[in-house]
Structure 1
Amino acid sequence: MSERGVGVVERELLDRARDAEVARRRDYYARLELVAELDRAAVAEATGDRGTVRLLQAHWNVDHAEAKRLLDEAGDLVARRSLQGERLPARFPCTSAAVAAGAIGPGHVVVIRRTMARLERISDLSVEDGVEADRFLAEKARLMSPAGLTALAKALVAHLDPDGEAPPEGEERCDELHVVRRRDGRLDFKGSLHDPADAEVFLGAIDPLAEELGPEDTRSLERRRADALKEVVENADPSPAGEPADDAAAGDEPEPALIPQPRRAEPTSRPSGPSGPGRVLLTLTMDHRWLQQAVGHGVLDSGALVHPQTVRRLACDAGIIPMVLGSRSEPLDVGRQQRTAPDAIRRALNLRDGGCAFPGCTRPPRRCQAHHVDHWLDGGDTCVENMCLLCRFHHQLVHHGHWTITMIDGRPWFTPPDWIDPDRQPRPGGRPRPPELPQSTLSAACPHGP
């Protein structure tokens, strides 16, 4: 990364790029307004088309799927008219206002509409909560990429509907592995695992063996995973080895502290010998009351939600490491005695950040490094309050770029450079934690349209 800084020429180019993107997003909203007007005026009847979707297909030369998406989005984001001709706000007025202002784009709209459709299936969700969900998502979309908003939306749905949708009966029966041996001796295979816990275990066995071996390792991720799978198969041992390695974490609040020390230390190097890699370390986080009552959901490191019955099944064969959440635990704060994060702190960071803490990044904890917010060489302590997880790319970006990290209420916040956000508004990092939705009126939450 260049160290020469951003000069006048670069800033002018960045400003032009920002203005062009804002203009593109505004044009996108104007397009939706035109679609809504075509539909409201029943132009398709005059042209002989079978509805507005077919009209758009023929008039704009687009596919059916795109024409239908545009009509559906226009129905949600453009102001409507009553039967008496009165102007009504859009179904999602806050999102509508953000798109009209050029603050968010089509990718954000897809995430918000999908989330709102999911929330509408919650039987006891109040109208006020639905209004606040629109406001909350539209506000956060201004600061996040669609991928980051997706993660936040999943947390919001889990917050408003902790029991989630019932998993399909006999889901495991859908698991499959197709293996075809070719005449030349090679194998072709593909398969699927439907249980999120099974998927986590599979990746937990493969990905640690698929890490790059150094700068000279030029293999692609796909090739490294194939080599890792061969290593697992070659070292397979039919007899069980080691102590149970599934871990369930229980607690009530999001701030982590770990007691006592794990029964089994996390592996720090590849296993050797014919016994293979041993059992995979699986971390599940769940409220202890939910675990006892078999309600709510558990959360994997990947952010995937696990049905409470699955968590209870795994807990029957697990070494449980209790985590007391919402308090400061002295054993975690090792201070200046060592630079690298010990297992206890690493587990707490995994739970708090849920992967790379950089806003919008989806790298899981196993592909992240523990970063000191105040560098250890500059006197920063090795403790949860001074550390966060970052993937390799964002670790380099923070060390050599212009983003800054500040710990606020035990959570990392990332401040972008002024050429990304002229106001340099801090953005929350780590695992999404949507606040309790207040009961407020629509008029107080946002304008009734652009």
Structure 2
Amino acid sequence: MSEPGLGVVERELLDRARDAEVARRRDYYARLELVAELDRAAVAEVTGDRGTVRLLQAQWNVDHAEAKRLLDEAGDLVARRSLQGERLPARFPCTSAAVAAGAIGPGHVAVIRRAMARLERISDLSVEDGVEADRFLAEKARQMSPAGLTALAKALVAHLDPDGEAPPEGEERCDELHVVRRRDGRLDFKGSLHDPVDAEVFLGAIDPLAEKLGPEDTRSLERRRADALKEIVDNADPTGTPTGDDRAASDDPAMDGAASEGAACDGAGDDSVAGRDAADDDAGELALIPEPRRPEPATKPSGPSGPSGPSGPSGPSGSGRVLLTLTMDHRWLAEAVGHGVLDSGVLVHPQTVRRLACDAGIIPMVLGSRSEPLDVGRQQRTAPDAIRRALHLRDGGCAFPGCTRPPKRCQAHHIDHWLDGGDTCVENMCLLCRFHHQLVHHGHWTITMIDGRPWFTPPDWIDPDRQPRPGGRPRVPV
């Protein structure tokens, strides 16, 4: 049955576009096979070039970086020859087969190769685990964009190496802020924060103030962030501490002064989330918890500044300290092993999580065997807040496959519409960003809850077989 508004001409164009992309990906693999053959035949020695990379630079007029990437990819994805001339499979045979079939492209290959290189640095990783990782990523790459696959690859690495690589010592010493005053009086500055928690606090202070004020607000994101920084500076007292009454910042007195918020999972929980783009311009309803209220400038309080904790200073105009959300299995938190996960998907060292937990509100969530929330702690919060916390833990942001929108940019969507009798409950809701919320309501994509998580079925012009795709937080089979 044809979709509304989709005629024969539109379907033919969509089929041609899909066939063209498959052909492009197959040509890409054929190119890698040619690179591998040039290298095996040692053609560069005959031409006088300093290796195959230099030969490719001259022959194809490409940069050194691209020529080296092509040679490295050929070494991983093209079948090899032993010293005796015996044909050997590619290093990553499943990924190789997917590329040769035109099912995945160069972006997917780059993600898989980075993940496999990271897994190879795990000292106790078995050969079987490495083979299974290649199969798993190649299979999921057929259904995901490179961005979605990146999030899944992070989850896979976290699953196989929960303690992660040791963070560099003295990392904070590399933090810097360069400020240059020009002759005309303007300031130019650039800097870097290496601690992911510090980075999350910085964005947590800037981005809520940098949201668009309405449809008439045409400022770029860069301009809005600059205005937000000026607002923070304008509201600071001479000592540099932003002014305001922190006690008026929160809807819940029990949460005032909390520097971060942990979701401690007592059960089989997911331990990583997709990376989320905090620079997204699409502003939706807030998921998880309400933002601290910002009073009108005319009613700016003049009380003493509130306490400042380990997660950052108070916000402007009495907004309270920046609220962080850290998700971590309660057993890991107690034993100081594994890792915590920020909203952005960045992993945090367990000792850092324990330090932040000394001055934080802990929201317990009991999970079932499939990691779906079974019981949601409320800490004196209303049921809708508890449901949003559960959706955040389960979906990690926009649940649409491959989307990287963070929870604060998402809306809670009823799978069975509320007007049609659908319940407002975790089992009937998922987080969607504004764009994908509108896309789902067009009716071409359908959502079904399977084993406690949302699955998205695409229209037939995207997948003729209409195979459901898992949505929400990336999950790795145990």
Give the TM bin, normalised by the shorter chain: 0.7 to 0.9
Quick one: structure 1 residues 87 and 98, their matched pair in 2 at CA, closer, same or farther if it must change by over 3 Å? same
| Shift in Å, 1:375 | 1.3
Q: Deviations over 1:351-386 (max 9, x none)?
A: 111111111111111111111111111111111111
Query: Structure 1 residues 226 and 243 mapped into 2: Cα distance closer, same or farther (>3 Å)?
Result: closer
Decide whether the 8 Å contact of 1:248 with 1:285 is kept in 2: no
| Residue pair 2:414, 2:429 contacting (<8 A) in 1 also | yes
- CA–CA separation in structure 2 for the residues paired with 1:123 and 1:329: 28
After superposing the two structures, state which structure 1 stretch, 184-193 or 358-367, moved more. 184-193
Which region of structure 1 is more displaced relative to structure 2, 168-177 or 117-126? Answer: 168-177
Equivalent pair of 1:298/1:311 in contact (CA under 8 Å): yes
C-alpha change, 1:301 and 1:249, in structure 2 (3 Å) is farther
Q: Mark the CA change 1:187 to 1:252 in structure 2 (over 3 Å): closer, same or farther.
A: closer
CA distance in 1, matches of 2:141, 2:98: 9
Cα distance between partner residues in 1 of 2:438 and 2:182: 44
Q: CA deviation at 1:129?
A: 0.3
Distance between the aligned counterparts of 1:379 and 1:268, measured in 2?
44
Once the two structures are TM-superposed, the CA of residue 411 in structure 1 deviates from its matched residue by: 0.8
Deviates more, 1:6-15 or 1:176-185: 176-185
Distance 1:247 1:390, change over 3 A: farther
- Equivalent-residue separation in structure 1 for 2:294 and 2:361 (angstroms): 8
* Partner Cα separation in structure 2 for residue 336 and residue 167 of structure 1: 34
Deviations 1:255-277 (A, max 9, x none): xx999999999999999997432
Q: Which stretch has the larger CA shift, 295-304 or 258-267?
A: 258-267
* Alignment deviations for residues 92-150 of structure 1 (CA, whole Å, 9 cap, x no partner): 00000000000000110000011100000000000000000000000000000111100
Change (3 A) 1:252 1:148: farther
Structure number with the bigger relative contact order (C-alpha 8 A, sep ≥ 6) is 1
Give how far 1:19 is off.
Answer: 0.5
Deviation at 1:287, TM superposition (A): 1.3
Change (3 A) 1:2 1:319: farther
| Displacement of 1:330 | 14
SS in 1 for 2:177: strand
TM superposition score normalised by structure 2: 0.80
Between 1:372-381 and 1:16-25, the stretch displaced more is 372-381
Conservation of the 8 A alpha-carbon contact between 1:232 and 1:277? no
- Shift of residue 27 of structure 1? 0.6
Secondary structure of the structure 1 residue equivalent to 2:124: coil
- Measure how far apart 1:286 and its partner are: 0.9
Shift of 1:332: 8.9
TM-score (norm 1): 0.84
Structure 1 range deviating more: 322-331 or 142-151 = 322-331
In structure 2, the residue corresponding to 1:324 is in which secondary structure? Answer: strand
Conserved 8 A contact 1:79-1:90: yes
- For residue 292 of structure 1, report the CA deviation from its aligned partner: 1.7
Cα pair 2:14 2:461 within 8 Å, conserved = yes
State the Cα distance separating 1:212 from its structure 2 match: 2.0
For residue 246 of structure 1, report the CA deviation from its aligned partner: 18
User: Which 10-residue stretch deviates more, 162-171 or 216-225?
Assistant: 216-225
Give yes or no for the alignment of 1:408 onto 2:406: no
Aligned partners of 1:367 and 1:310: how far apart in 2? 26
Measure the CA separation in 2 of the matches of 1:157 and 1:414: 25
- Distance of aligned partners of 1:252 and 1:370 in 2 relative to their CA distance in 1, 3 Å threshold: closer
Larger mean CA deviation between 172-181 and 410-419 belongs to 172-181
Q: Distance in 1 between matches of 2:299 and 2:125?
A: 48
454, 463, 466: which is aligned to 1:421?
A: 463
The percentage of aligned residue pairs carrying the same residue is 93
**Cα shift at 1:326:** 2.4
Q: Is the 8 A contact 1:246 1:282 kept in 2?
A: no
Deviation string 1:277-314 (CA, Å, 9 cap, x unpaired) is: 21111111111121122111001111110011111111
CA distance in 1, matches of 2:347, 2:247: 13
Q: Per-residue displacement from partner, 1:5-35 (whole Å, max 9, x unpaired)?
A: 2111000001001111100100111111111
Cα root mean square deviation, aligned:
5.6
Q: Does the 8 Å contact 1:340/1:382 carry over to 2?
A: no
Q: Does structure 2 retain, via aligned residues, the 8 Å contact 1:356–1:363?
A: yes
**Which residues of structure 2 form unaligned runs of 5+?**
254-286, 302-313
Instruction: Indicate conservation of the 8 Å contact 2:366/2:375, yes or no.
Output: no
String of CA shifts for 1:195-240, please: whole Å, max 9, x gaps: 111111111222222222222222222222222222222223689x
User: Does the residue aligned with 1:374 lie in a helix, a strand or coil?
Assistant: coil
Q: Does 1:310 align with 2:352?
A: yes
**Match runs of 1:195-274 below 5 Å:** 195-236=195-236
CA 1:258–1:63 in 2, change beyond 3 Å: closer, same or farther? closer
Moved more, 118-127 or 179-188: 179-188
CA distance in 2, matches of 1:236, 1:32: 57
Q: Render the CA deviation track for 1:374-426: whole Å, top value 9, x for unaligned.
A: 11111111111111111111111111251111111111111111111111111
Structure 1 residue 338 displacement after superposition: 18
The alpha-carbon distance between structure 1 residues 187 and 101, as it changes in their structure 2 partners (threshold 3 A), is same
Match of 1:97 in 2: 97
Tell me what 1:16 maps to: 16
- Aligned counterparts of 1:417 and 1:427: Cα–Cα separation in 2: 12
CA distance in 2, matches of 1:382, 1:89: 52
Moved more, 72-81 or 187-196: 187-196
Cα deviation, residue 68, structure 1: 0.7
State how far apart, in whole Å, the 1-side matches of 2:352 and 2:233 are.
Answer: 27
Partner of 1:115: 115
Aligned length: 429
